[in-house]
Each structure stands twice: as C-alpha cells, then as structure tokens.
Structure 1
C-alpha cells in the first residue's frame, strides 16, 4: 500500500510532453540558419550514444504536433525526463539530450520575405 498520489509516478514514460518554453538565440538567425543547425544536430546525434532508432523516433517527435509526438515517444519506449523532450532516456538507460533549437523556433528568428 502507498499513498494515493504515489501511483501516478510509477510510469515515467507516460509523462505528457509539451512545447519548450520560449527561448532566444544568442543572435538573430534566419530560418535557413536554423534549419542548418537542426540538420547538423540530427546528422551527428547518433554519435552521442544511444540507439539510432530512438534518435529517429525523437526526430520524428520533434517534427510532429504534440499529439503525434506523444504517440511516437510512447510507442518507441522513450522515457521522458523533461516534458519538453530536452532530456529523455531509453529503456536501457541511455541518455538523449535535445537542444531547444530542434524542438521549437527562437523568439528572435528573422522572418524572411
């Protein structure tokens, strides 16, 4: 037996994800620069450790709306430590850190016309 509130903490992988809080890049950047930063991160992410299929699932979740992203991380068995997906683990305990720039746009993004 335990207290009633303790049972909700048992399954960390079911933590609801949310969009990251607003953030600002060190200097204003264009969408093209942001896209390049994202591509460079995703191209090198598997070299940081962890499993490629988890990195692929996290990339798909980062590009999806919240409902689909939740389904992706749940089906991949990703354990969400931070609800904004900046820190996750797989079932084997490997750590996956995502920078905010792959999850959302900065407040100082230059809108090209």
Structure 2
C-alpha cells in the first residue's frame, strides 16, 4: 500500500479534472484591453521560462478554450496537471509550467472598455 500522495507518481492513469480558477482580484481595477496586453506579453515570453514550446502552445490553447476542450487539449499534449485550475502543470519530462491567473480568467474588478 502506498501513501495517499503517491498515485500520480505511479502513473496509474488518474487524470486530474481541470476547473475554472477561483475568483480573483487584480491589485487595481483593470480594463479588458490592458488584461489582453498582459496576456499577450506573458504568452510571448513564456517559452523563455523553460519547458517546451509545444507544451506552452497547448497550455495557451487550453487557457483560451472552454473546460471540455481544455481537458482534451491537456490530456492529448501529455500535460500533468498539479493544480486543477492549470496554474501549475508539468510535462512528461518533469518541466514545470506556471500560469498566472490573469491568463486563465478575468478578475472580479475588470472594467469594461468604453
């Protein structure tokens, strides 16, 4: 019998279902345009943090998709989801991928552009 946390390490096929991130608040009210700029900057620079570009591409596609499609994307890319909201993931080689909440959902204090 293994310990409770050993199931992922065994590779027994358990898949963590992804879910929407919990509501969060940006330090200051932010416009949709500014949020999109932050997201674009993150995705443009993400491959420079390490890991494989194809995994970053899959994570971006998953972040921008609905939950059902996002689950299919991470499963087919071989992404190991540690945090169900996709904030912490790994690839099959063990490289860590951290996603900020602003690329996964909108803050509660989002200001609509006029």
TM-score, scaled relative to structure 1: 0.90
Distance 1:111 1:79, change over 3 A: same
Q: Which residue of 2 is the match for residue 69 of structure 1?
A: 70
Q: Which residue of 2 is the match for residue 108 of structure 1?
A: 109
Q: Which residue of 2 is the match for residue 80 of structure 1?
A: 81
Q: Which residue of 2 is the match for residue 11 of structure 1?
A: 13
Q: Which residue of 2 is the match for residue 92 of structure 1?
A: 93
- Identify unmatched segments of 5+ residues in structure 2: none
Aligned length: 110
* 3-state SS in 2 of match to 1:96: strand
Q: Which residue of 2 is the match for residue 48 of structure 1?
A: 49
- Deviation string 1:16-70 (CA, Å, 9 cap, x unpaired) is 0000000000000100000000000000000000000000000000000000000
Distance, in Å, in 1 between the alignment partners of 2:73 and 2:91 is 13
CA RMSD of aligned residues (A): 1.9
Distance 1:82 1:110, change over 3 A: same
Cα deviation for residue 6 of structure 1 reads 8.8
- Identify unmatched segments of 5+ residues in structure 1: none
Cα deviation for residue 11 of structure 1 reads 3.2
Distance, in Å, in 2 between the alignment partners of 1:22 and 1:7 is 30
Distance 1:107 1:91, change over 3 A: same
* 3-state SS in 2 of match to 1:46: helix
TM-score, scaled relative to structure 2: 0.90
